[in-house]
Amino acid sequence: MITARREAWTGRLLLILMMAVTLLPFVSLFVTALHPSGTYPAGLAWPGDPQWGNFLRAFEAANMGALLWSSVLIVLGVVPLSILLGTMAGFALGHLRLVGGRVVFLLFVLGLTLPFEGIITPLYYQIRDMGLLNTRWAIILPLIGLFMPFSVFWMRAHFVNMPGELSESARMDGANVWQLFRRIHVPLAMPAISSLGILLFLWTWNQFLLAIVLVDDPAKRTMSGALGAFQGQWGTDIPLLCAGSLLILTPTLVIFLIFQRHFVKALLQGSLKG
């Protein structure tokens, strides 16, 4: 009994310590962002005269409105289509037992661990030849392709566990494959689909490499890519840089806090399956 209580207290202490370490960078960004711009604040020190205006200046300097809009457009281009294609392919490969389906599935699985850096060079020339450099399509189209292995893998894992009788009875009623998919299997797959959507949203929003290589104009990049440019431009003005970083990570933070239960579930399952 005494050991159990002591264990519980060590546990609590450890948790609090871990949370402190996790939050430290955020606190530091916040405190530093309030110092007069152009100064080099020493460590964690509350400024005598907090400069709340820094956030406003960073908002304007980073052109946040345009950035937000750009990221939203990219997410809207990537996520719905990836979900649709991934769900369709996952359904066919997991439920319909296609002849030769295993080979195709293995081909997708091979792409699961692919580091984006591995293909960034030919991708650049390919996108250039398609005339898409410096447009949002340069990020949207490759990302859909790059997300296919995971999307197909994820959705197939769901459909493989659906009982075959479900489809049999629908077929008896004369449903064709598309109706079977649309009316019966998609509604049942909604939990898996929404987790996939959360993960894809996060990965798109935070995509950095494709954004800095394929798009020069920060206003057409993802938030993350734009932050890279912001650092290049304002890297010497530490308080402004910190204010800008905080602003740029706010949208994901807000969405995370709203949907945190789904997020945590999706991320845990996502890494378990991936």
Residue 160 lies near other proteins (rule: CB under 8 A): no
- Give which of 134, 186, 133 is closest to 159, Cα–Cα: 186
* Number of residues engaging other proteins in binding (CB under 8 A): 103
Q: Site for other proteins (CB under 8 A): which residue of 1, 21, 106, 172?
A: 21
Q: Which of residues 198-257 bind other proteins (CB under 8 A)?
A: 202, 205-206, 208-209, 212-213, 223-224, 227-228, 231, 238, 241-242, 245, 248-249, 252-253, 256-257
SS (H, E, C) the chain: CHHHHHHHHHHHHHHHHHHHHHHHHHHHHHHHHCCCCCCCCCCCCCCCCCCCHHHHHHHHHCCHHHHHHHHHHHHHHHHHHHHHHHHHHHHHHHHCCCCCHHHHHHHHHHHHHCCHHHHHHHHHHHHHHCCCCCCCHHHHHHHHHHHHHHHHHHHHHHHHCCCHHHHHHHHHCCCCHHHHHHHHHHHHCHHHHHHHHHHHHHHHHCCCHHHHHHCCCHHHCCHHHHHHHHHHHHCCCHHHHHHHHHHHHHHHHHHHHHCHHHHHHHHHHHHHHC
Stretch that binds other proteins, among 23-31, 49-57, 59-67, 187-195 (CB under 8 A): 23-31
Q: At closest approach, how far in Å is the CB of 155 from other proteins?
A: 10
Q: What binding mask, one character per residue, do residues 124-153 give for other proteins by CB under 8 A, x or -?
A: xxx--------------xx-xxx-xx-xx-
Looking at this protein, which amino acid is placed at residue 178?
W
Q: Site for other proteins (CB under 8 A): which residue of 58, 61, 123, 243?
A: 123
Residue 56 lies near other proteins (rule: CB under 8 A): no
Q: Which is nearer to other proteins, 15 or 56 (CB)?
A: 15
Q: Which of residues 57-96 bind other proteins (CB under 8 A)?
A: 85-86, 88-89, 91-93, 96
Q: At closest approach, how far in Å is the CB of 248 from other proteins?
A: 7
Residue 182 lies near other proteins (rule: CB under 8 A): no
Q: Site for other proteins (CB under 8 A): which residue of 1, 4, 106, 190?
A: 4
Residue 193 lies near other proteins (rule: CB under 8 A): no
Q: Which is nearer to other proteins, 69 or 125 (CB)?
A: 125
